[in-house]
Amino acid sequence: MITAIVLINAEANRIPEAAQAIADIEGVTEVYSCAGDVDLIASVHVAAHEDLADLIPAKIGKVPGVLNTDTHIAFRSYSRADTDSAFELGIEGA
């Protein structure tokens, strides 16, 4: 499974509609509206890298109100739960 984080700039007056349209696209698991340099952040999960080409420019990029996207592909996932469970198993750093 390939995970990508997509930073999205959108027209200010279309952010809610664009966010919902993006959230409705298959492969998009979450969309957040946020403050900062971008308007929306989408989490995407696909089976193969080639699927990103079909999903991001062809679908997300074509949503009305989307101005541009910046995609970051995840290599590895870390979470507090992962860290806590490793210590419960007795795995500690050297």
> pTM surpassing 0.75?
yes
pLDDT tens track for 2-46: 999 999 999 999 999 999 999 999 999 999 999 999 999 999 999
pLDDT tens track for 58-69: 999 999 999 999
Could you give all domains of the chain from N- to C-terminal order, each with its CATH number? 2-88 (3.30.70.920)
Distance separating alpha carbons of residues 26 and 69, to the nearest angstrom: 17
Phi/psi region, residue 47 (left: phi>0; alpha: psi -120 to 50; beta: rest), is alpha
Pairing, β 66-73 against β 40-46: unpaired
Fill in the DSSP letter of residue 4.
Answer: E
pLDDT-derived band at 86 (thresholds 50, 70, 90) equals: low
